[in-house]
Structures are given as structure tokens and as C-alpha cells.
Structure 1
Amino acid sequence: MTDRTPSGPSTGELRALRMTAQRLAGFVEAGDAAAVRSAVEGQPHLLATTTERAGQDGWTPLHVAVAHGHAELVDLLLDAGADLEASTEHGRTPLHVALEFAPQLVDPLLARGAEPDGAAAAYLGDRERLAARLDAGESSVHDDAEISLLGFAALGGSIDAVQLLLDRGAHADDGSLRAAAAAGHPEVVRVLLAAGAQVDHRDPDTGRTALHAAVAAGPGGGREEVVGLLLAAGADVEATTSDGASALDIARVAAARDRPGTDGSPTPQDALVDLLEGAPQAG
């Protein structure tokens, strides 16, 4: 006898559906528009199926398309009926995913009707909307969120939003310094350090500090200045990630990878190497 869930499908059918959802997620990650179109046209229910990503369940095909920056697939899935407000088990909508991984898709998602909640307001620097959300009862802290409102404001580079959230009780040392460093926002880095963010605060999963985040993101976009600010604040150049890499290790590998040919020509990454090599070492 085949076991069936109260709603009807057998456990085998549910397992098959899950596997099909995983295959669709693979097509989405690969940017295979033809395969994605065929799958959702043939089985529209797949638009609402979810998979796990980075230890977090509830990712729909739309979440995955946004995370990979596939604008064509985002339009395809939305046109097919994907839910723009679907949320993962941690409450992340496709717009939240765009804020973190694909900023170029934020405006298109808003144009398609995504709800600009507190996270979006913080990222976009919409102080008025953010204040209204906070006044209406939205927490400025969100200790249970994967990324705090302050983290989204740091990613977006909005000093006004960062200051508003700090004034409303957000914790400067919640990982937002890493977000600001990775995004290359020196003014936000200054504000967070002045507000008490610990320069060597580590990500609990990866062991990365703000210095690792800035160097891993590469040169340009204000990151050299960010690295200088972090070093001036006492960042530990010798601190290693969970897999044993220091910021200098990361910079040297990137510089070697980016150096054209074999003539030893310097790369923009070499500027970061020079900064790190010239920093005081831990005693």
C-alpha cells in the first residue's frame, strides 16, 4: 500500500516533486531559459515548489533566478505567475535576495510590484519610508534575521538610513561592518566604527572579518579606502577565516590570478596587497 499525505499525494509523489524542483533550480542557476520555460509551462505548480540553498529552505525558482542575476529568467518566471512575495523560511523575499546579491534587479522587481518593506527602504536610503515602518512597529534590530535592517542599509551605503537605525537601537556590531566593507562604502564604515562596531568581529559561519570581506570583494568602488580605514582602526591582518586564509592570502591569490601574462605587470589588486603588507603585524 502506498502511504498518502492527508492532502492526497503519496510520499513517493512528494519526493518526485522535490527532485523535479531541484532539477528546475539547476536549470535556473545555469540560465537555461528554454528548459525553464518548458518546465513551468508544462508544470505550472513548479513555480511554487521550493529547494534548499545554503542551509535555508523555501527558495522558489524566482529566488534562485534573482540570486544569480538572471534578469531574463526573472521576467519569464514572473510572467508565468511566480509569486513576487514568496518568502524563504527566514522570511526573505526575492527582493531581499536582490538587495544582497543582485542590486541591478532591485528596480525591476520594484517596477513589477515588489513590496518595498523595511529592508528595501534601508537599502535604498528611503529614510521617510523606513521611519514610517519603524513607527508602525517594525523592529530596527531583527536579531533573528539573517541580515539586519542595519546590514541592508550598510549594503546600500545610506548614511541616513544607517544613522536612523542606530538611533532607533540597532546594534552596530551585528555584522553590518562586513556588509559595508564588502560593498565599498567608506563613510558607512566610519559611522559604524564610531558607533562601536568591533573591527575584527567574525562571521560565525565563515570566520571572516570586515577586512576579509573588503579584500575578497576586490579593488575599486572605495574598497582601498575601506581597507585603509579598517587597518587604521586596528584590524588584524593575520586573522584567518574558518578555512585558514588571511586577508593578505586572499589578496595575493587574487593579484596572481588577475596579473596578465607573465611579465609581472601590477594589477589593481596589488594595491590592496601593498596596503596589507605595510600594515603593522600582531605582536
Structure 2
Amino acid sequence: MLMLAAARGSADLLELLLSAGADVNASSEHGQSALLAAARYAFDRGDSLGARRVFDVLLRHGAAVNHSDTGGMGALLLLLGAHTPPGQDGDATHIGALLPLLLDAGAEVAHADQRGVTALHACALHALLGPARTLIARGAPLQARDAWGRTPAEVAQRLGFSDLALELETRALPGVKRTLSRPAAED
């Protein structure tokens, strides 16, 4: 019942169930939990206020922010649409408003699912520039490679999301100041 309430975005029902003793971290045989259902709901529905209320309830009751299902997908990847085909209509503003909730709760920005997809790869799949910038600022690895050997920048480029690809490529390059401050290699 808890996962259903989370999947439907019902914060009031979640609060009632959790106050009555429901286990916030209960999971299905496939590893689905209420927080994972809420993250999937948040990407699919685009209801920032409702999703925020659901996340707040679950996190306040101790939901494990880094729990993953049997495919290795956690709440962060689901919020960013890693479960959907490339190019889905993920609302970057909506997702960007929810992203700090998971990050502030300790979501691991470097986590990858069984396909090697990281949070930045998920951003690249859906042209989520704002969320990608937030993840980069929080230390997400720019050079992580998925199971096909692609970096997030390469994924974005392949899908035609040139603005995001350029941002990821530029951020991945060492800065001129850092490069010039290193001693020259001796031959």
C-alpha cells in the first residue's frame, strides 16, 4: 500500500500509513521501495509540489535515499528518467526543483545502474541541462562510462542535445589555470 501511495503522489496517505507503523524502506521482490516509486512518479507526472510533499514525508520518516532496485536504479536515477527511453519529456525546471531534496539527503551522484548509467548519463538522455549543472556542482563524474563505453557528453551528442554535450565536454576539460599551474613533465 505504501508504494502505491507513493506512486500516486499521495503524501497524506503516506503520512497516515507511516504514522501507523508502515516500514518506509519495505521493498518488493524486485527491490522497488516507496521512495523509488515516488521518484518515478516525479519524473513521469511533472507535479513539483505533490512530488516534493511525497519526498518530504518519505525522507522525514527515514527512507533510504541510496537504495536501488535489482537493476541498480535508485531514486536519483529514476527522478532523472533513467527508466525511460531517450528524449522523453522530462521537465528540467520541475526535476531541478526536486533534485536538491535527494542530494541534500545524501544521494550518491556517482552511482551507476547495471547498464553503467549515472545521473549525468540520465540528464544526457533527456537534455536536462539545469539538473546536469547541479550534479556537476555536487561532484558528479563527467568521465564515467556506461556499459557501451560512452561518457554523458557522448550520449548527449549522439542524441543531438548539442547544448548539453558542449556543457559536459567543456566542464570535463581541465581549466587553463589548472593546466598552467602543473609542472611540465620531464622527458
Q: Following superposition, which runs of at least 4 residues in structure 1 exceed 4 angstroms of deviation?
A: none
Counterpart residue number, 2:104: 194
Match for 2:40: what amino acid? Answer: L
Paired residue secondary structure (2:78): helix
Q: Is residue 211–residue 227 contact of structure 1 (8 Å, CA) maintained in 2?
A: yes
Q: Does 1:163 find its partner at 2:56?
A: yes
How much has 1:281 moved relative to structure 2?
4.4
Rg larger in 1 or in 2?
Answer: 1
Question: What TM-score do you get using the length of structure 2 for normalisation?
Answer: 0.71
Moved more, 235-244 or 127-136: 127-136
Counterpart residue number, 1:275: 167
Q: Is residue 237–residue 281 contact of structure 1 (8 Å, CA) maintained in 2?
A: no
* Unaligned segments of structure 2, at least 5 residues: 43-50, 68-73, 82-89, 179-187
How much has 1:121 moved relative to structure 2?
2.0
Indicate the percent of aligned positions where both proteins have the same amino acid. Answer: 28
1:168-183 matches, within 5 Å, as 168-174=61-67, 175-182=74-81, 183=90
* Unaligned segments of structure 1, at least 5 residues: 1-116, 256-268
1:1-283 matches, within 5 Å, as 117-143=1-27, 145-157=30-42, 158-174=51-67, 175-182=74-81, 183=90, 184=92, 185-203=95-113, 205-216=114-125, 218-219=126-127, 223-255=128-160, 269-281=161-173
Counterpart residue number, 1:74: none
Residues paired across the two proteins, number: 149
Q: Is residue 153–residue 166 contact of structure 2 (8 Å, CA) maintained in 1?
A: no
Distance 1:200 1:159 in 2: 23
* Deviations, residues 68-91 of structure 1 (Å, cap 9, x unaligned): xxxxxxxxxxxxxxxxxxxxxxxx
Moved more, 228-237 or 150-159: 150-159
How much has 1:200 moved relative to structure 2?
0.7
Q: Which has the higher contact order (CA 8 A, sep 6+)?
A: 2
Paired residue secondary structure (1:279): helix
Distance 2:171 2:36 in 1: 27
Question: What TM-score do you get using the length of structure 1 for normalisation?
Answer: 0.48
Q: Is residue 180–residue 186 contact of structure 1 (8 Å, CA) maintained in 2?
A: no
Distance 1:227 1:201 in 2: 14
Q: Is residue 143–residue 172 contact of structure 2 (8 Å, CA) maintained in 1?
A: no
